């Protein structure tokens, strides 16, 4: 544990949904749900307005629609989220060379390793507030910051700061702060461990600490019991580790209840693959071996890997490889944890990305099948960017029965008007997303933040 709150944890607020609200003025202040829209779709992120109705990530989209029937349900735009994440991570890198991204919207920063290490709690708070102001200036979005003497407490602080706030935990106050919190607050305490502790009468962190190390070792085993006891006392010496020094990059999620639905498992693997690519790109790396980790209902853990022809950071290639690995794993009895990782890291990317999954070359003289060219179908999915030859840029609000409805507005405009067109309208086409913040606005806001 450090004597100064020099570890910072940043967590962007409802990241995907907040990006959509910033890009679409008509959705600001209204419930927004981002995720899969099909019959087996799952919520990726919900805005705070939607969360008030009980909507949360990993919930089936059908259930989310019933809880918040007036919410805007949009497909994810991962390319947009990734670019914004890169800008945020670049701002963190200016604070310190030790930045540990956890996902597109979350990272630890070791301020003590930076050019201006904070000598006091007040200095650490100033650094956190300046970071929040710079992120808002650069992206138009808000992030919550936690500051503490350890990674565990910094993450707890950022949770307390949400949304759009900053919480600093003074060294020496850790045990008093942790005591009333549920044991699930501690890293590594999932539903099964929490239930074991609850049956023993230990529901809060304070109760776990008072039970003593010997009792936790008896309940949880040597390694896990020792770690839980140390963290219940507020002790956490884990270092902030930059991804450039890692031999592999991975992400994983533990589910509150076992996942048995195969479509949901596939969605989660695809989502984890995208998060893994986000960390890969934030670190400026590529990788050659894709790894899938599956922990089943009975705690057995399976690991499968596939080595590609060359290193890549292409999200399609990595997601497809993870999907192929999943095909060989039986998940019918339930999955507790899923993880996707990339190893064999390199500082360059295979140029011929599509060759990774290419079929073998036909033998000389073998007949070559020529497929008839099929017409390209334009899919008008809610939330995607479009432009109209006469009305300009907008986004798809919905489609069906041969029609598509588009709301024409820009991130810097008032809420726009919705218009409906035929699906085959020749003047309507998909387009690149507009920036949330213009260069001039970002410079002006940055100057104001510095002056403040």
Residues forming the active site: 106
Q: With beta carbons less than 8 A apart as the criterion, state whether 306 and 344 touch.
A: no
Q: How far apart are CA 278 and CA 276, in angstroms?
A: 5
Cα dihedral: 198, 200, 203, 208 (round 10): -140
For tokens 């349900």, the residue is 73
Both tokens assigned to 333: 């009895």
The β-bridge partners of 12 are: 143
Residues 6 or more apart whose Cβ sits within 8 Å of residue 228: 183, 186, 188, 189, 193, 208, 216, 220
H or E element at residue 107: strand 106-110
The β-bridge partners of 422 are: 403
CB-hemisphere CA count at 13 Å for 348? 4
Q: 133-143 as b/e, with b when 16 or more CB fall inside 10 Å?
A: bbbbbbbbbbb
Q: How far apart are CA 58 and CA 424, in angstroms?
A: 34
CA 267 to chain centre: 14
Q: How far apart are CA 166 and CA 151, in angstroms?
A: 15
Q: 327-357 as b/e, with b when 16 or more CB fall inside 10 Å?
A: eebebeeebbbbbbbbbbbeeebbeebeebe
CB-hemisphere CA count at 13 Å for 45? 20
Cα–Cα nearest to 246, from 280, 200, 202, 213: 280
Q: How far apart are CA 150 and CA 187, in angstroms?
A: 12
Q: How far apart are CA 377 and CA 322, in angstroms?
A: 27
User: What is the total residue count of the chain?
Assistant: 452
Q: In a 10 Å sphere around its CB, with 0-12 CB exposed, 13-18 middle and 19+ buried, how is residue 25 labelled? A: middle
Q: How far apart are CA 412 and CA 384, in angstroms?
A: 17
Q: With beta carbons less than 8 A apart as the criterion, state whether 181 and 202 touch.
A: no
């Amino acid at each position: 544990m450090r004597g100064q709150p020099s570890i910072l944890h940043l967590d962007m607020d409802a990241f995907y949904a907040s990006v959509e609200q910033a890009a679409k003025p008509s959705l600001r202040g209204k419930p927004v749900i981002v995720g899969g829209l099909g019959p087996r779709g799952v919520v990726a992120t919900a805005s705070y307005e939607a969360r008030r109705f009980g909507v949360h990530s990993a919930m089936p989209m059908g259930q989310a629609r019933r809880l918040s029937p007036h919410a805007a349900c949009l497909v994810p735009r991962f390319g947009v989220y990734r670019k914004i994440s890169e800008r945020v991570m670049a701002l963190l890198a200016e604070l310190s060379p030790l930045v540990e991204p956890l996902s597109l919207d979350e990272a630890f920063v070791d301020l003590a390793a930076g050019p201006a290490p904070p000598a006091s709690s007040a200095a650490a708070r100033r650094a956190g507030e300046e970071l929040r102001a710079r992120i808002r200036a650069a992206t138009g979005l808000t992030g919550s910051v936690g500051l503490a003497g350890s990674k565990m407490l910094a993450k707890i602080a950022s949770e307390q700061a949400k949304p759009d706030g900053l919480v600093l935990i003074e060294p020496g106050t850790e045990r008093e702060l942790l005591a009333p919190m549920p044991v699930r607050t501690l890293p590594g305490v999932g539903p099964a461990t929490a239930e074991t502790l609850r049956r023993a009468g230990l529901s809060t962190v304070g109760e776990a600490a008072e039970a003593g190390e010997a009792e936790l070792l008896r309940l949880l085993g040597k390694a896990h019991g020792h770690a839980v006891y140390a963290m219940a006392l507020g002790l956490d010496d884990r270092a902030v580790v930059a991804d450039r020094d890692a031999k592999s990059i991975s992400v994983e999620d533990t589910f509150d209840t076992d996942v048995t639905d195969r479509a949901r498992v596939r969605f989660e693997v695809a989502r984890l693959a995208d998060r893994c690519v986000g960390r890969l790109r934030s670190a400026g790396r590529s990788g050659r071996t894709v790894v899938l980790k599956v922990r089943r209902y009975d705690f057995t853990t399976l690991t499968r890997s596939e080595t590609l022809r060359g290193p890549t950071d292409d999200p399609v290639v990595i997601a497809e490889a993870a999907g192929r690995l999943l095909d060989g794993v039986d998940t019918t009895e339930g999955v507790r944890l899923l993880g996707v990782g990339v190893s064999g890291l390199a500082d360059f990317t295979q140029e011929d990305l599509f060759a990774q999954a290419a079929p073998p070359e036909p033998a000389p003289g073998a007949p070559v099948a020529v497929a008839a060219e099929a017409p390209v179908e334009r899919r008008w999915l809610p939330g995607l960017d479009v432009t109209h030859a006469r009305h300009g840029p907008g986004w798809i609000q919905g489609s069906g029965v041969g029609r598509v409805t588009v709301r024409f507005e820009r991130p810097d405009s008032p809420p726009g008007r919705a218009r409906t067109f035929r699906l085959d309208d020749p003047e309507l086409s998909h387009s690149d997303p507009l920036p949330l913040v213009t260069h001039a606005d970002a410079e002006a806001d940055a100057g104001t933040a510095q002056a403040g």
